[in-house]
Amino acid sequence: MVSSIALLVCAGLAAAQTFPADLVGTWSSKSNSTLTGSGFYDPVNEKFTEPAHTGISYSFTADGHYEEAYYRAIANPQNPKCPQGIMQWQHGSFTKEANGSLVMAPIAVDGRQLYSDPCAYKSAIFTRYNASEMFKRYEVLTDGYRQITRLNLYKFDGSPLIPLYLAMSPPQMLPTTTLNPLTTSTPGGAKATSKVRRSELPLNHNVFEKRTPQMQRADNVWWFGVFLTTSGGVLYFLY
Ligand SMILES: *[C@@H]1O[C@H](CO)[C@@H](O)[C@H](O)[C@H]1NC(C)=O
Ligand SMILES: *[C@@H]1O[C@H](CO)[C@@H](O)[C@H](O)[C@H]1NC(C)=O
Ligand SMILES: *[C@@H]1O[C@H](CO)[C@@H](O)[C@H](O)[C@H]1NC(C)=O
């Protein structure tokens, strides 16, 4: 009897996973203007806000939740007037595996992407976005020169993501629960509020990075058919 209680206690402890405390916070790439939270993606109005500069941001909580924000522009050397811009947002849960890897599991129905290719499409294209990620390893260190806490994430193939710096702690995040399943399509209820100022997408040389092995095979973007267009604004692809 005593030993079975002890076993139950042990099982309980083993199930209570711990998450790395050194990851907790909101991290952002050098420009520090792309940050997770409602300032990037507004789930109530289905709207992205374009940060002042391209960049990426990750937030981690002490209880295993994460959120990520990516804003990138892709220069088009053949036609500099045709830069493509992309904003991606996801959140979900993560685990640190015994081998040191971080396995990120997004809430598939919540991820969103806004893609702008002004020379190919009149409107920016708003879709769902779902891409699980695995970071082979990570390290948190103090950047010697800037004396700022720095996070190096290494992708599944061992190549480094651009360095991230601690921007805020505790993290700035949207609620970590499922936000917006969008399972009912009510065209009248759609919010066509977002206007992407495509001409202002900055040109830089941040090319798309292959984030997961899966993404080498397929872009995990969900297409649900044209749902609504707004004049010169955003094309929404929903159910
Ligand atoms: C989300 O993407 C993962 C792989 O990245 C896939 O296993 C999963 O089935 C996807 N979920 C949905 C609902 O498409
Ligand atoms: C570490 O373990 C996880 C879970 O078993 C696995 O998905 C991941 O591929 C492993 N990482 C490496 C670098 O092999
Ligand atoms: C980054 O931006 C956040 C929010 O505006 C600010 O609190 C933080 O001090 C900034 N970090 C750096 C290193 O500039």
19 vs 186, which has greater pLDDT? 19
- The helix (run of H) or strand (run of E) holding residue 40 is none
Kindly give the distance from the C-alpha atom of residue 6 to the centroid of ligand 3, in angstroms, as a whole number. Answer: 47
Q: Give distance in angstroms: CA of 135 to centre of ligand 1.
A: 17
In this prediction, residue 66 has a pLDDT band, given cuts at 50, 70 and 90, of very high
pLDDT-derived band at 235 (thresholds 50, 70, 90) equals low
Is 132 a domain residue?
Answer: yes
Query: Ligand 3 mean position to 149 CA, how many Å?
Result: 12
**pLDDT the model gives residue 15:** 45
Mutate to test the pocket of ligand 1, among 90, 132, 216 (most ligand atoms within 8 A of CB): 132
Residue 40 in domain: yes
Residue bearing tokens 């009510």? 186
- Nearest ligand 2 atom to the CA of 136 is 13
Helix or strand run (H / E) with residue 209: none
Number of structural domains (the chain) is 1
Contact 67, 88 (CB under 8 A): no
pLDDT digits (tens, 9 = 90+) for 201-217: 332 222 233 344 444 43
Q: Give Cβ neighbours of residue 28 (< 8 Å, ≥ 6 apart).
A: 34, 35, 55, 56, 57, 164, 165, 167
Is 71 a member of any domain? yes
Residue 4 lies in a domain: no
Kindly state the helix (H) or strand (E) to which residue 216 belongs, with its residue range. Answer: helix 213-217
Q: What is the pTM of this model?
A: 0.77
Distance CA 221, CA 135 (A): 20
How high does pLDDT run on average in the chain? Answer: 74
Amino acid (one-letter) located at 132: S
| pLDDT tens readout for residues 163-176 | 999 999 999 999 99
- Evaluate if residue 61 carries a pLDDT over 50: yes
| pLDDT tier for residue 234 given thresholds of 50, 70 and 90 | low
Residues 74-133: tens digit of each pLDDT: 777 787 777 788 999 999 999 999 999 999 999 988 888 888 877 777 777 788 888 889
61 lies in which domain range?
16-179+196-229
189 Ramachandran zone, left/alpha/beta (phi>0; psi -120 to 50): alpha
Q: Residues lining ligand 3, CB < 6 A?
A: 32, 148, 165, 167-168
Peptide bond into 20 cis (omega under 30): no
Closest CA to ligand 1's atom 13: 108
Report the pLDDT value the prediction gives residue 233, as an integer from 0 to 100.
53
CB-based pocket (< 6 A), ligand 1: 108, 130-132, 214, 220
In a domain, 207, yes or no: yes
Q: Give the gyration radius of the chain's Cα atoms.
A: 20
**Whole-number Å distance between alpha carbons of 73 and 102:** 26
Tokens of 119: 């020379």
The percentage of residues in the chain with a pLDDT greater than 90, rounded to a whole number, is: 43
What is the Cα–Cα distance from 120 to 57, expressed in whole angstroms? 28
Can you give the pLDDT at residue 177?
A: 92
Angle at the Cα of 203 (from 124 to 43), degrees rounded to 5? 40
Band of residue 225 on the pLDDT scale cut at 50, 70, 90:
very low
Instruction: Tell me if 119 is assigned to some domain.
Output: yes
